[in-house]
Amino acid sequence: NAHKWLAPSSTDSRGPCPGLNTLANHGFLPRNGKNITVEMILDAIHQGFNVDPTSDVIRLAAKLGLLTTDNLAMSLEELALHGTLEHDVSLSRSDVFPDGSGDNIHFNETVFTTLAQANPGSDVYNVTSAAATMDKRLALDKIENPGLTNTVKEFFIRAVESSFYLSVMGDPIKGVAKKEFVQIFFREERLPIAEGWTRPTSLITTDLLGNLVGQIQESSHWSPSGEVVCPWIRLQP
């Protein structure tokens, strides 16, 4: 099976995105995680997750990925360039910290605790729990990293990423996903096919994602904080 899950080798490139790492671990993206083009990403997200390859948000994300490298194609690790797409207050990775001492690439179970323990008493995550998880991560991270960046830009990207795990691992219309599937996706960067997950049957469009992002943002009690008040984007390495 061409799309069997295989753990990456020590020379394969993996990065801060559990979605793209998963696609590489299943061979929807090159398993070495290198020389990845915008078209390869659009193809892979469609084949693997049934995300609309014509979606403007997805296309924007894929194109921004190219800013993280001086080459004309990206590696998964290069995507960790702080301030292009990578941001503080991730769900499953540490901040890089102002002195560069943090690991913003690899899965971190301590950071992931907040999402792992969210929505107690239920088997699923939903838009409300996703928003509460974002709020709690921010509160905890402010203690850990007082210099963190938290503008509307980071808030928007974080809400999009929450809409991603709810939709690709669950029901993209309702925004409800089984905890078990989401946790396997983050911890193992594997499609939980053996556990009963199937590729979403409806195309995950910008409209569906935007609807979930809106609900997540409405339910969150977010406000901006820190020294950096104006959103900015790093244009090159």
Site for ligand HEM in 72-101 (CB under 6 A): 79, 85-87, 90-93
Of 33 and 121, CB closest to ligand HEM: 33
Binding ligand HEM (rule: CB under 6 A), the pick from 13, 14, 17, 126 is: 17
Q: Give the span between the Cα atoms of 20 and 58, in whole angstroms.
A: 12
Site for ligand HEM in 113-152 (CB under 6 A): none
| Other CB atoms within 10 A of residue 105 CB | 20
Q: Give the span between the Cα atoms of 111 and 183, in whole angstroms.
A: 13
Q: Give the shortest CB-39-to-ligand HEM separation in angstroms.
A: 12
Q: Give the span between the Cα atoms of 192 and 5, in whole angstroms.
A: 10
Q: Which helix (H) or strand (E) holds 171?
A: strand 170-171
Q: Give the span between the Cα atoms of 48 and 19, in whole angstroms.
A: 10
Q: Give the shortest CB-115-to-Mg ion separation in angstroms.
A: 14
Which range of residues in 11-19, 117-125, 142-150, 221-229 is near ligand HEM by CB under 6 A?
11-19
168 binds, options Mg ion, ligand HEM, none, Cβ within 5 to 8 A by partner type? ligand HEM
* Residue 138 exposed, middle or buried by CB count within 10 Å (0-12, 13-18, 19+): buried
Asked whether position 200 contacts ligand HEM by CB under 6 A, the answer is no
**Where does this chain bind ligand HEM (CB under 6 A)?**
16-20, 41, 45, 49, 51, 58, 61-62, 65, 79, 85-87, 90-93, 161, 164-165, 168
